[in-house]
Amino acid sequence: MTTHEPTPQEGELVSSVRRALEKKMEYWDKFATFKQRGEWVELQFMTEAARRQFGICKPWGDSRAYDVGIENGPTFLRVQVKSTTYKKGRGYWCGFRPNSSRNRYTVKQLDLFAAYVIPANAWYLIPAALFLGPRHIDGAMLSPIALPLKGNGFQYEHFREAWGLLTKNRKQLHGYRS
């Protein structure tokens, strides 16, 4: 079997195509791992919360179910930060399960999910009780690109940019039910 050595012209063409693809690549695709992207999204969330004058606490290590603690006066909320770039149909699918082999989250561990739809630059702050109640929802469609064809495929839109939920206490957030 013989191998073909590219001519200088072919080599330049390959380099040109590679450069074009790298330029087209979205900034969030440049993270080497999902863990790196997740750390970046957590920083984005903490920045947005701090900009709104909330106190920020970051637990040491990865042993807690929550990624960020939010202080607002005497209230301390446990927030699990998620992100998505996965376009599915008329919106983006975001999963709300742990990324590791850890068991599912519970309302005893979390108060709020903060989901970032990266391509839309949109945050969804959703009470954890909506996903972790009796029905235990694993994910949701967020950030519609077009109106859904039927029903309430985007039933969490009223939680888009719902930063006011960070002023609620745990009891108020746990009162939300699916």
Give per-residue pLDDT as tens, 32-49. 888 899 999 999 999 999
Q: What's the pTM value of the predicted model, to 2 decimals?
A: 0.81
Q: What is the C-alpha to C-alpha distance for residues 27 and 158, in angstroms, rounded to an integer?
A: 28
For residue 128, the model assigns a pLDDT of 95
pLDDT confidence bin for 102, thresholds 50/70/90:
low
Please report, in angstroms and rounded to a whole number, the separation of the first and last CA atoms in the chain: 63
Q: What is the C-alpha to C-alpha distance for residues 94 and 124, in angstroms, rounded to an integer?
A: 10
Least confident of 109-113, 123-127, 142-146: 142-146
Strand order in the sheet with 139-142: 87-88, 91-95, 139-142
Question: Regarding predicted confidence, which is higher, 146 or 34?
Answer: 34
- The residue extents of the domains of the chain are 26-174
For residue 99, the model assigns a pLDDT of 76
For residue 62, the model assigns a pLDDT of 83
**In the chain, % of residues over pLDDT 70:** 79
**Contact of 115 with 84, CB cutoff 8 Å:** yes
Q: Which residues pair with 80 in a beta bridge?
A: 113
Burial class of residue 6 (count of CB atoms within 10 Å of its CB; 0-12, 13-18, 19+): exposed
- Return the CATH number of the domain spanning residue range 26-174: 3.40.1350.10
For residue 23, the model assigns a pLDDT of 56
Res 4 pLDDT > 60 = no
Encoded tokens for 67: 């990624």
Q: What is the C-alpha to C-alpha distance for residues 78 and 128, in angstroms, rounded to an integer?
A: 10
For residue 2, the model assigns a pLDDT of 52
Q: What is the C-alpha to C-alpha distance for residues 114 and 166, in angstroms, rounded to an integer?
A: 10
Least confident of 87-91, 109-113, 157-161: 87-91
Res 103 pLDDT > 70 = yes
Least confident of 13-27, 53-67, 71-85, 117-131: 13-27
For residue 21, the model assigns a pLDDT of 52
Q: Residue 107 is which amino acid?
A: V
For residue 50, the model assigns a pLDDT of 96
Q: Given phi > 0 = left and psi -120 to 50 = alpha, else beta, which region is 161?
A: left
